[in-house]
């Protein structure tokens, strides 16, 4: 995984101390995490398809919010802060029946209390599957 040096300790701590969660249940694997982009993959399998055999829109949204949240979190100026999603939208462009999808998230705005990120989900041919935007609130960590 490609991790920016300045955030490497944060990411390592997160992965070592994170309990199982939706991302791990869906098989999300991180390819690259920087302050300007997060890239991850997710399998299209029995855990992520809908009853008709296509990638479930909810799984696409879960991947989108996950990568946007990680990107926003690594941009928090204070270690006592974290990012939580407060709004997300998605446009589902094409179906996927198997293989891997890749999610790419990039920031639009990184303010003190609100971040906005855009994400794209691509199939193995790099064709757009889903496009969305996620708004995150920067809050005190409990």
Residues forming the active site: 65
Range of the domain at 39: 2-140
- For the chain, give the mean pLDDT: 92
- Whether residue 118 is predicted with pLDDT greater than 90 in this model: the reply is yes
Residue 6 pLDDT > 60: yes
Specify the number of domains making up the chain: 1
Q: How far apart are CA 49 and CA 30, in angstroms?
A: 20
CATH number for the domain spanning 26: value is 3.10.129.10
What are the helix (H) ranges across the chain?
A: 8-17, 22-25, 57-74
Q: How confident is the model at residue 3 (pLDDT cuts 50, 70, 90)?
A: low
Is the pLDDT at 136 greater than 60? The verdict is yes
Read off the pLDDT of residues 24-41 as tens digits, 9 standing for 90 and up.
999 999 999 999 999 999
pLDDT, residue 10, reads 66
């Amino acid at each position: 995984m490609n991790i920016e040096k300045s955030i490497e300790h944060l990411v390592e701590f997160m992965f070592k101390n994170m309990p199982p969660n939706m991302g791990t249940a869906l098989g999300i694997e991180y390819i690259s995490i920087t302050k300007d982009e997060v890239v991850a993959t997710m399998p299209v399998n029995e855990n992520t398809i809908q009853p008709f055999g296509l990638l479930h829109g909810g799984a696409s949204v879960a991947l989108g919010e996950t990568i946007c949240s990680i990107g926003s979190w690594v941009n928090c100026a204070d270690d006592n802060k974290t990012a939580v999603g407060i709004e997300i939208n998605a446009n589902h462009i094409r179906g996927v029946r198997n293989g891997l999808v890749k999610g790419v998230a990039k920031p639009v705005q990184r303010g003190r209390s609100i971040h906005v990120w855009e994400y794209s989900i691509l199939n193995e041919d790099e064709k757009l599957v889903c496009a969305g935007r996620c708004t995150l609130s920067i809050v005190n960590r409990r």
